[in-house]
Amino acid sequence: MRVLGRLTIRQKLTSIAMLSSITALVSASFAFLAYDLHSFRQSLARRIMTDAKIVSFNSVSPLLFNDAETATATLGGLKAEPAVVAAVIRSQDGGRPFATYFRDGPSAARPAFPPRAAAGPVFTADHLLVSEPIRFEGKPLGTLLIQADLGEIRDRQRRYAGIVLAVLGGSFLLALAMSRLVEKTISRPIVHLADTARAVSSQKDYSVRAAAEGSDEIGLLVGTFNEMLDQIQRQDSDLKEARADLERRVETRTRDLAAANKELEAFSYSVSHDLRAPLRAIDGFSKAVLTDYSPQLDERGRHYLERVRAATQRMSQLIDDLLGLARVSRRELVRKRADLSEIASQVGAELSRRQPTRQVRVDVQPGLTAEVDPHLLTIVFENLMGNAWKFTGKKADARVEVGRQADGSAPTFYVRDNGAGFDMEYADKLFGAFQRLHAEADFEGTGIGLATVQRIVTRHGGHIWAEGAVDKGATFYFTLERNP
């Protein structure tokens, strides 16, 4: 059917009609020829069998009185059957033929008879062999063998094949004429519809309409197509108005995406190269010491090295997680209504569990909800509240507050602490990867937490900023897009 796929609809309709007609005619013709061949073979076999019975009955006396001349004369009666080419009478002793008959005379090439043959007709590739026993009062006297050629069948098949070919030719021409008439009736409105669709597609002219030529399924298709053009024409003006606004939004989003991708590339490069190399060195040398110098180390030394290796492997896993988070920023967010108060409370409880000796007051405003990715917002609160927990480490009355202030079109969430704070002169460095405003000896950390927070907030269509003063605490504000 691949050939039909490259044809026009007119050619397809003509081809299908012709193939259907030819298939039916050829199948009927072959069935007719096969039936005629079978019937004629049976008729020929019955004729020869009738002659064989007559000759065998007339051959009883010659066999009883050993009269070969009379038997030969009896076989001569088979000249009336043109299909018989040879016949032979064999006596019961199975010796030489008692009498023979050959259609082309004694000097012609004599066909061979099998030494034994089953009673009845047997068809071979080029002749029919009939064997008939000769009996007298139930006792076998001999056997009559008659051989007939199949030329009459072949001649009949040739004549009928010519008739079939003539019928097929005439039927082909008639089917071709009828299929042309049918395909014009069906294909003409479809071709007109295709021309209209092509004009609409190439010229963007939605005012043209296809002409309906009937009320059948094709006419319904044309009417539906025209209705669709009406709707498209009405919507086209709306689309043109929205296109300009869409282009502006796309330009803004593209600019934001380029900036985010640039930051992501810098972040990924730093994590992949600057952090993995020392981790591999620490892990490799620790493993070498454990392998090569294990007998010289006591149990505590081996324990320390195993802890070093475990810590480096944990850090390597942390790096993988951060890189995975960076890749997530390029994918579509899974937003749903999330309870931010519950998320912040769980983060506060986890911080208390890690450092049970510290007394930190955590206040979470109830009823904080938003359409966000809950997993990513958990990371936001883990970083912001974790920083607040860390930078209030030198305060006796440490406090961490999570809440929302509705002073704009979009709600603004915040995380506030009364810890070490920072100098607002360096506020622009807060959200850069690996940027630190405090000495590592005072407060540990890698400087990637706030960069991660900014990336997540940006992915949610919001922005983040901070306010603070040295030794007076800090407040981190962030917004989230209301209707993504």
Average pLDDT over residues 172-180: 75
Average pLDDT over residues 75-104: 84
Residue 98 lies in a domain: yes
Q: How many residues in the chain?
A: 484
Asked whether residue 355 falls in the same domain as residue 279, the answer is no
Report the percent of the chain where pLDDT is more than 70: 79
Residue 158 lies in a domain: yes
Asked whether residue 364 falls in the same domain as residue 460, the answer is yes
Asked whether residue 359 falls in the same domain as residue 239, the answer is no
Cα–Cα distance measured from residue 252 to residue 263, given in angstroms and rounded to the nearest whole number:
17
Asked whether residue 387 falls in the same domain as residue 477, the answer is yes
57-to-78, 133, 141 alpha-carbon distances in Å: 14, 10, 11
Q: Would you place residue 478 in the very low, low, confident or very high pLDDT band (cuts 50, 70, 90)?
A: very high
Asked whether residue 157 falls in the same domain as residue 216, the answer is no
Average pLDDT over residues 100-127: 75
Q: How many CA atoms lie within 13 A of 39 on its CB side?
A: 8
**pTM for the structure as a whole:** 0.40
Asked whether residue 152 falls in the same domain as residue 244, the answer is no
Residue 181 pLDDT > 80, yes or no?
A: no
| Cβ atoms within 10 Å, residue 456 | 25
Nearest to 481 by CA among 450, 457, 452: 457
Cα–Cα distance measured from residue 391 to residue 170, given in angstroms and rounded to the nearest whole number:
101
Q: What is the CATH number of the domain that holds 66?
A: 3.30.450.20
Range of the domain at 418: 332-484
Q: Which is higher by pLDDT, 414 or 208?
A: 414
Cα–Cα distance measured from residue 394 to residue 331, given in angstroms and rounded to the nearest whole number:
40
Residue 286 lies in a domain: yes
Q: Give the residue carrying structure tokens 């030494």.
A: 115
Query: 238-247, 264-273, 422-431, 451-460 — which is least confidently predicted?
Result: 264-273
- The whole-number pLDDT of residue 426 equals 72
Contact 64, 98 (CB under 8 A): no
- The whole-number pLDDT of residue 440 equals 46
Q: Which is higher by pLDDT, 175 or 464?
A: 464
On average, the pLDDT of the chain sits at 79
Contact 299, 351 (CB under 8 A): no
Residue 11 lies in a domain: no
- State which of 147, 167, 187 marks the end of a domain: 167
- The whole-number pLDDT of residue 366 equals 94
Asked whether residue 228 falls in the same domain as residue 88, the answer is no
- The whole-number pLDDT of residue 415 equals 94
Contact 410, 370 (CB under 8 A): no
Query: 60-64, 239-243, 415-419, 462-466 — which is least confidently predicted?
Result: 239-243
Contact 351, 391 (CB under 8 A): no
Asked whether residue 221 falls in the same domain as residue 291, the answer is yes
Convert the pLDDT of each residue in 117-132 to its tens digit.
777 888 888 888 888 8
> Hey, what are 292's tokens?
């090569």
Cα–Cα distance measured from residue 369 to residue 480, given in angstroms and rounded to the nearest whole number:
11
- State which of 312, 330, 348 marks the end of a domain: 330
Asked whether residue 273 falls in the same domain as residue 339, the answer is no
Asked whether residue 149 falls in the same domain as residue 268, the answer is no
Average pLDDT over residues 45-52: 88
Asked whether residue 354 falls in the same domain as residue 378, the answer is yes
Residue 382 pLDDT > 50, yes or no?
A: yes
Contact 148, 44 (CB under 8 A): yes
Q: Which is higher by pLDDT, 398 or 215?
A: 398
Burial letters 401-430, b for 16+ CB under 10 A, else e:
bbbbeeeeeebbbbbbbbbbbbeeeeeeeb
Asked whether residue 350 falls in the same domain as residue 274, the answer is no
Convert the pLDDT of each residue in 128-159 to its tens digit.
888 888 888 888 888 888 988 888 888 888 88
Average pLDDT over residues 275-300: 81
Residue 381 pLDDT > 90, yes or no?
A: yes
Q: Give the residue carrying structure tokens 């021309």.
A: 195
| Cβ atoms within 10 Å, residue 258 | 10
Residue 186 lies in a domain: no
Phi and psi for 439 in degrees, rounded to 5?
-70, 145
Q: How many domains does the chain have?
A: 3
- State which of 298, 330, 362 marks the end of a domain: 330
Residue 326 lies in a domain: yes
Residue 4 pLDDT > 60, yes or no?
A: no
Residue 126 lies in a domain: yes
